[in-house]
Amino acid sequence: MANLRLALAQFDFSVGAVAANAAKVRELTSDARNGGAALVVFPELTLSGYPPEDLLLRPSFLAACDGELQALAAATHGIAALVGHPHSEGEVYNAASLLRDGVVEWTAHKQALPNYGVFDDKRYFRPGHQSFTALIDGVQVGMLICEDVWQPEPAAQAAAAGAELLVVINASPWDDAKQADREAVLIARAQETGCAIAYLNLVGGQDEVVYDGASLLVNGDGSIAARAPVFVDALLWATFDPQTRRLHAEDWPVLEDQSIEATLYAALVCGIRDYIDKNGFAGVLLGLSGGIDSALTLALAVDALGAARVTAVMMPTRYTSQLSLDGARAQAENLGVDYHVIDIETTYQSFIDALTPAFAGKSADTTEENLQSRTRGVMLMALSNKHGRLLLATGNKSEMAVGYATLYGDMCGAYAPLKDVYKTEVYRLARWRNQAGHRKMGLGLQSTNTHGALATPDSRLPIPMEVIDRPPSAELRDNQTDQDSLPPYDELDAILEHFIEGEQSQAEIAAEGFDADTVRRVVRLVLLNEFKRRQSAPGPRVTTRAFGRDRRYPITSGWR
């Protein structure tokens, strides 16, 4: 019995770009046919992009997807193509169609509709009730869509229908725990059914989610045959031996650095690049304070977009240290970005003078500190408008969790790359970036194109060590440090992870060895500041419980 040759199209297919997505399918199908593949596979909802959200409520959008699908089918000869798309027949389904010999041979509907975390499939789709198989080059191939493989029944149905190989198309967002979960599920399905599994995942950024690719080949005995690189566009070639039920990857690209820091950094770069490029912005700008958060954000922006598309602005006041001025300038020069210094002391003082009569009888407090931050916000938004560059907010998850950020001040921005990155991770990423600074590619990719390409500055570090080593400070008053207002970040982040990702109670967290009063204070701050987070910029989701679609708490609540 001959082996089956297939090609997995691990590529980015943008939401709403129906014609462009179809053109990419057409091109990659031709490449796969020319390379001798009998089957080419595309991700979940290829034609619409994922998630299309309320675009699915527009009949014209569904009609456009169907029109492109029919045109693709008519042009598909000499190869079979499995394409994901929304399918409307009175009700709407998350579907995959097999295109072969000029027709849509059959259409399968996703059976298991996720409705947790960032997923909202039940809002838009009706579930399917059948697993489909097709004979391709003498091999019975079962077809499943994403969540279907996370449940035993759809795979079991396909195996009962004679499937030897399961092809699973996915739009599975990345987070720091996802790959281990995926592999455990696929190993279980393979061992339960005896079927080998070719798992194809989408790649690219879409609003608050990033898709990592990381496609997988799993043999019929549950062993992992191959892992595709993360955040890389690639046409992945594989062969399937039906006698042994084993898969073989053909020259898949390899990443030298597969550390969590390398993968997380690539996820953030992917999120920035795709948010900016897909929304048609010329570039970005950000306030560069001389602190670690803005320094890492600047490095990420340069790696995502190139130095020519990034502007950094230092806005000192009387409280800005020489260390901050020197660190910001050194980094801007090292990375080669457009750099401006705009002293806001006079502007800030004019606000104070104007408000003094209305402040009569009240002593100075955080109001004056926040006014400095809001003065910077006004300046940055003006520069963003004038130059057509999107403003990046630089705050991290630790700050957003406890509200250590100024609404309409340092929270100004249209995209927040570090929104789901804890402060302790910010430090780890900054150190990793310095160590990786001389690689030509961000993840040490040996071949093909990467979504994590790093800039390659000269011998100077991309993030100066004095910026990394200094005590963190907002510099809104004399000798201020973050720890004047917050517990040490290693303690704070550990409590936050227990409360946010772990959903543990205050008593449970204290039982882990944390001071009970500190736990109560931190939890109170998290719950109190939901109103701020609702007004914050979107940013890439990289944990299992990101603020926004993942974690939706009421603003008004008596629960403490």
Q: Is a pLDDT exceeding 80 seen at residue 471?
A: no
Average pLDDT on 487-512 reads 96
Q: Is a pLDDT exceeding 70 seen at residue 434?
A: yes
Give alpha helix (H) positions in 44-130.
59-74, 121-124
**Are 145 and 152 within 8 A, CB to CB?**
no
What per-residue confidence (pLDDT) applies to 403? 94
What per-residue confidence (pLDDT) applies to 217? 98
| Neighbour-count burial for 421-439, b at 16+ CB within 10 Å, e otherwise | bbbbbbbbbbebbbebbeb
3-state secondary structure of 559: coil
pTM above 0.85, yes or no: yes
Provide the token pair at 415. 């995209």
- CATH number of 4-251, picked from 2.50.20.20, 3.60.110.10, 3.30.2040.10, 1.10.287.610: 3.60.110.10
- The whole-angstrom separation of Cα 199 and Cα 227 is 10
What are the Cα distances from residue 81, in Å, to 21, 76, 104, 522, 556? 14, 8, 10, 52, 50
What per-residue confidence (pLDDT) applies to 477? 61
- The whole-angstrom separation of Cα 103 and Cα 435 is 52
**Which of 65, 68, 146, 501 is the catalytic position?**
146
For 137-177, the pLDDT digits (tens) are 999 999 999 999 999 999 999 999 999 999 999 999 999 88
Average pLDDT on 213-223 reads 97
Residue 146 is among the residues annotated as catalytic for this protein: yes
Domain ranges of the chain: 4-251, 261-480
For 232-252, the pLDDT digits (tens) are 999 999 999 999 999 999 999
Q: Is a pLDDT exceeding 50 seen at residue 458?
A: no
- The whole-angstrom separation of Cα 158 and Cα 301 is 45
What per-residue confidence (pLDDT) applies to 444? 39
What are the Cα distances from residue 212, in Å, to 178, 316, 396? 10, 39, 22
Residue 110 is among the residues annotated as catalytic for this protein: yes
Closest CA to 420 of 526, 538, 279: 538
**Are 295 and 288 within 8 A, CB to CB?**
yes
For 19-49, the pLDDT digits (tens) are 999 999 999 999 999 999 999 999 999 999 9
Task: Name which residue leads in pLDDT, 309 or 448.
Answer: 309
What per-residue confidence (pLDDT) applies to 437? 66
Strands 216-218 and 224-227: antiparallel
**Which of 24, 44, 278, 497 is the catalytic position?**
44
Residue 153 is among the residues annotated as catalytic for this protein: no
Average pLDDT on 443-471 reads 62
**Which of 110, 278, 423, 532 is the catalytic position?**
110
Q: Does domain 261-480 have CATH number 3.40.50.300?
A: no
What per-residue confidence (pLDDT) applies to 459? 53
What per-residue confidence (pLDDT) applies to 443? 41
What per-residue confidence (pLDDT) applies to 559? 82
